[in-house]
């Protein structure tokens, strides 16, 4: 398996915990002659690239891992990049919009050109599939399988050209003799049957690989024919002399240097008094066409080999709705031959109760040239039936010419099985009984995981924030308004993420009993004023006013860092949960050995029921107004914990739609 970069090791570990086992890919380059790559739909970071990328594109897997999506898009042909990105974005959006299906569902398939490391263009056919989804059903990772179709593209182009030439030749067949005399690319010959003498044009001698001055006899001609083709060629000529006026042939010849070539020949029998007296004709080299046909055949064989190696059933239909191909997996499963399944024979393998539905769906989507997905039962060779999910889609050429349909079938029998569902439910109930005895251990493990994950995520998130900030400040040039708007949103989103991570880290330290206070005498009045000053831009944005009532000094022995965090949280909550143009009141006073700091807002308020869970982790208020406010439900939890560590109190007084007052009480 290609080694992930250092920056991706933690991601690899996290993904493995989440169920993405990268080790399963390590042998694929030896099995599939294609590039296999897995990347995150959110970050665009590749987490796996098969070693076959070097053979196909000249790059190492590590270069693709390091370069990521930016490297890939920079290599795509300018004429293909817009279409590729658009298709990919639409497919991902559609996959996220629809209900989750099975993993490995294909969502996009496209052909495009990409620059080889040595500079030339390589055609790739890439099929992207959903590898897995997030718990919310969104696409998490994409697996791409990219096959090199450069030779196929070349062969198709050459075959189209050669086919066009053949059509022109058929159309002008009546003028074959005249064209042979004027076509410099063809060789002309004449065979006198009475003298057995041959006359060849210089062009024909060139086609046969002999020098212009070479004297051609019938014996010499026979020596140039490929030994394996010589009997057949003689039989064709003999039959033509007896029963026909014209003949055509394709055969191999052997040049004096030993190389083998293909020629196409045409002969015209000339008769006198009903008796053949001579044969005239033309010959042309068809090496290019034969090579193109061979390449297409090899390409088809490679496709069939890949299809037979795939873990799913694959079928292909022509433009007349007739199925022309089933892969080995299908044939092994049904126990039938390819000849038995082709055409309409495949219907014999479908459950009788499903045949009408399957046929109707197939015909309707075929006529509309649209994709489909349906479930039906297929008979196993042992007589049993399994449920399969069949996904079919139309095939179009580069010129948008309809070429038929292709589909794949996945066995979903276990998913459809009621017994399996019942078994899983019983196992789930048994597991829940055990889990009830392990809640405390799991809770501790969760806290440790949150701490570890927060630490690991904070560093890259901080780096992202710094780089976005540098871009916004113009370090890489001027930005369009749209770019600035998008980056500003990303910056704010990243800032919120860092706040969540900070809260998670703080909670983890508190729950683990690792938070240590560094108490010193601190002027809480000055500290509160400083916090209000830093929040001034927030108040101005919401047109909120602040009333401050407290003595000049309020000194207590506290940890200034953590008390400041508590005050910032209370002030921020007061502003966040208060409508615009409202006033926030801050009161500080000393009563006996205690100092109290109160923050009163005129916001949505908190019900008695919600006040009971206010200081719990991840708690959210139950009213509709608070549900639209961004909050992770941790701030008041760790605030109260910090005040408790100071032997203080954090209390609340609140009424719905009348506002709330949070009071911190600290010993001096």
pLDDT digits (tens, 9 = 90+) for 74-106: 999 999 999 999 998 898 888 888 766 555 567
The pLDDT, as a whole number, for residue 319 is 93
Q: What percent of the chain has pLDDT over 70?
A: 81
Half-sphere exposure of 485 (CA within 13 A, CB side): 3
Is 327:305 a contact under the CB 8 Å cutoff? no
The strands making up 402-411's β-sheet, listed across from edge to edge, are 323-326, 313-317, 402-411, 385-396, 372-379
Q: What percent of the chain has pLDDT over 90?
A: 42
Q: Mean per-residue pLDDT for 228-251?
A: 89
Residue 162 has pLDDT above 60, yes or no: yes
Backbone angles phi, psi at 208, to 5 degrees: -90, 0
Which run of H or E residues covers position 448? helix 439-472
Q: Mean per-residue pLDDT for 381-392?
A: 93
The pLDDT, as a whole number, for residue 429 is 80
Place of tokens 């099929």: 127
Greater model confidence, 117 or 428: 117
The pLDDT, as a whole number, for residue 626 is 53
Q: Mean per-residue pLDDT for 171-195?
A: 70
Residue 322 has pLDDT above 90, yes or no: yes
Residue 174 has pLDDT above 60, yes or no: no
Q: Mean per-residue pLDDT for 635-663?
A: 90
Q: What is the pLDDT of residues 189-223, one digit of tens each?
A: 999 999 999 999 888 999 999 998 899 998 999 99
If we measure between CA atoms, which residue out of 600, 591, 592, 506 comes closest to residue 544?
A: 600
Backbone angles phi, psi at 8, to 5 degrees: -105, 0
Q: Mean per-residue pLDDT for 468-478?
A: 80
Q: What is the pLDDT of residues 586-622, one digit of tens each?
A: 999 999 999 999 999 988 888 888 887 888 877 666 5
Count CB-CB contacts under 10 A for residue 228: 9
- Residue 182: pLDDT band by 50, 70, 90 thresholds? low
The pLDDT, as a whole number, for residue 647 is 93
The pLDDT, as a whole number, for residue 106 is 72
Q: Mean per-residue pLDDT for 122-139?
A: 89
> What angle, 0 to 180 degrees and rounded to 10, lies between the N-to-C axes of helices 439-472 and 418-436?
100
Q: What is the pLDDT of residues 399-425, one digit of tens each?
A: 889 999 999 998 888 888 776 777 788
Nearest-Å Rg of the Cα atoms of the chain is 39
The pLDDT, as a whole number, for residue 492 is 65
Backbone angles phi, psi at 585, to 5 degrees: -110, 130
The pLDDT, as a whole number, for residue 210 is 92
Taking phi over 0 as left and psi of -120 to 50 as alpha, with beta for the rest, 569 belongs to alpha
The pLDDT, as a whole number, for residue 202 is 87
Q: Mean per-residue pLDDT for 353-364?
A: 95
Is 157:164 a contact under the CB 8 Å cutoff? no
The pLDDT, as a whole number, for residue 1 is 33
The pLDDT, as a whole number, for residue 272 is 87
- Residue 6: pLDDT band by 50, 70, 90 thresholds? very low
The pLDDT, as a whole number, for residue 288 is 86
- Residue 317: pLDDT band by 50, 70, 90 thresholds? very high
Q: Mean pLDDT, the chain, as a whole number?
A: 83
Place of tokens 């007589």: 383
The pLDDT, as a whole number, for residue 16 is 43
Residue 9 has pLDDT above 50, yes or no: no
Strands 659-667 and 649-655 come out as antiparallel
Tokens encoding 96: 């996220």
Count CB-CB contacts under 10 A for residue 324: 14
Residue 148 has pLDDT above 70, yes or no: yes
Q: What is the pLDDT of residues 482-526, one digit of tens each?
A: 888 887 777 766 666 666 667 666 777 777 777 888 899 999 999
Q: What is the pLDDT of residues 16-75, one digit of tens each?
A: 444 445 455 455 454 668 999 998 888 888 899 999 999 999 999 999 999 888 898 999
Is 225:251 a contact under the CB 8 Å cutoff? yes
Greater model confidence, 242 or 507: 242
If we measure between CA atoms, which residue out of 528, 532, 591, 533 comes closest to residue 560?
A: 528
Q: Is the dihedral of CA 283, 285, 291, 296 positive or negative?
A: negative
Place of tokens 């493995």: 16
The pLDDT, as a whole number, for residue 25 is 47
Q: Mean per-residue pLDDT for 362-382?
A: 94
Residue 295 has pLDDT above 50, yes or no: yes
């Amino acid at each position: 398996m290609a080694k992930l970069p250092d920056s991706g090791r933690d991601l690899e570990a996290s993904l493995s915990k989440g169920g993405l086992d990268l080790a399963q890919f390590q042998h694929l380059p030896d099995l599939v002659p294609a590039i296999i790559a897995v990347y995150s739909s959110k970050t665009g970071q590749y987490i796996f690239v098969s070693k076959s990328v070097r053979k196909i594109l000249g790059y190492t897997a590590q270069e693709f891992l390091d370069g990521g999506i930016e490297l890939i898009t920079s290599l795509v042909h300018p004429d293909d990049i817009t279409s590729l990105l658009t298709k990919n974005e639409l497919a991902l959006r559609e996959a996220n919009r629809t209900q989750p299906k099975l993993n490995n569902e294909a969502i996009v398939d496209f052909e495009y050109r990409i620059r080889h490391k040595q500079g030339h263009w390589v055609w790739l056919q890439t099929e992207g599939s959903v590898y897995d989804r997030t718990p919310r059903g969104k696409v998490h990772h994409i697996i791409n399988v990219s096959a090199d179709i450069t030779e196929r593209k070349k062969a198709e182009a050459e075959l189209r050209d050669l086919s066009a030439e053949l059509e022109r030749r058929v159309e002008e067949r009546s003028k074959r003799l005249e064209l042979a005399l004027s076509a410099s690319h063809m060789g002309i010959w004449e065979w006198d049957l009475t003298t057995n003498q041959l006359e060849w044009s210089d062009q024909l001698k060139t086609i046969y690989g002999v020098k212009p001055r070479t004297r051609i006899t019938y014996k010499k001609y026979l020596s140039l024919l490929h030994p394996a083709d010589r009997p057949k060629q003689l039989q064709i000529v003999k039959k033509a002399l007896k029963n026909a006026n014209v003949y055509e042939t394709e055969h191999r010849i052997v040049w004096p240097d030993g190389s083998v070539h293909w020629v196409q020949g045409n002969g015209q029998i000339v008769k006198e008094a009903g008796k053949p007296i001579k044969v005239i004709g033309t010959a042309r080299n068809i090496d290019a066409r034969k090579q193109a046909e061979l390449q297409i055949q090899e390409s088809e064989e490679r496709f069939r080999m890949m299809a037979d190696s795939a873990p799913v059933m694959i079928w292909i239909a022509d433009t007349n709705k007739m199925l022309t191909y089933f892969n080995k997996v299908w044939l092994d499963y049904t126990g039938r031959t390819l000849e038995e399944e082709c055409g309409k024979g495949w219907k014999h393998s479908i459950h009788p109760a499903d045949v009408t539905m399957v046929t109707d769906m197939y015909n309707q989507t075929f006529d509309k040239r649209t994709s489909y997905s349906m479930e039906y039962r297929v008979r196993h060779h042992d007589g049993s039936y399994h449920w399969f999910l069949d996904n079919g889609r139309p095939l179009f050429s580069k010129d948008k010419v309809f070429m038929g349909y292709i589909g794949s079938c996945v066995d979903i029998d276990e998913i459809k099985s009621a017994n399996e569902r019942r078994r899983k439910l019983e196992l789930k109930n048994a597991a829940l009984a055990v889990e009830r005895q392990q809640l405390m251990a799991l809770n501790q493990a969760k806290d440790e995981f949150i701490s570890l994950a927060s630490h690991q995520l904070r560093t890259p998130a901080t780096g992202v924030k710094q780089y976005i900030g540098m871009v916004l400040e113009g370090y890489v040039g001027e930005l369009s308004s749209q770019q600035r708007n998008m980056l500003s949103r990303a910056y704010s989103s990243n800032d919120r993420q860092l706040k969540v991570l900070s809260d998670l880290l703080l909670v983890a330290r508190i729950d683990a009993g690792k938070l240590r206070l560094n108490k010193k005498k601190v002027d809480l009045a000055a500290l509160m004023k400083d916090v209000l000053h830093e929040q001034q831009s927030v108040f101005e944005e919401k047109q909120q006013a602040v009333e401050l009532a407290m003595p000049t000094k309020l000194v207590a022995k506290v940890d200034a860092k953590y008390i400041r965090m508590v005050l910032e949280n209370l002030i921020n909550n007061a502003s966040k949960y208060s409508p615009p143009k409202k006033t926030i009141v801050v009161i500080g006073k000393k009563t006996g050995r205690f100092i109290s700091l109160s923050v009163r807002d005129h916001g949505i308020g908190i019900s008695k029921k919600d006040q009971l869970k206010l200081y719990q982790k991840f708690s959210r208020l139950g009213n509709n107004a608070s549900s639209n406010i961004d909050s992770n439900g941790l701030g008041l939890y760790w605030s109260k914990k910090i005040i408790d560590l100071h032997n203080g109190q954090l209390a609340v007084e609140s009424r719905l739609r009348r506002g709330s007052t949070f009071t911190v009480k600290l010993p001096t």
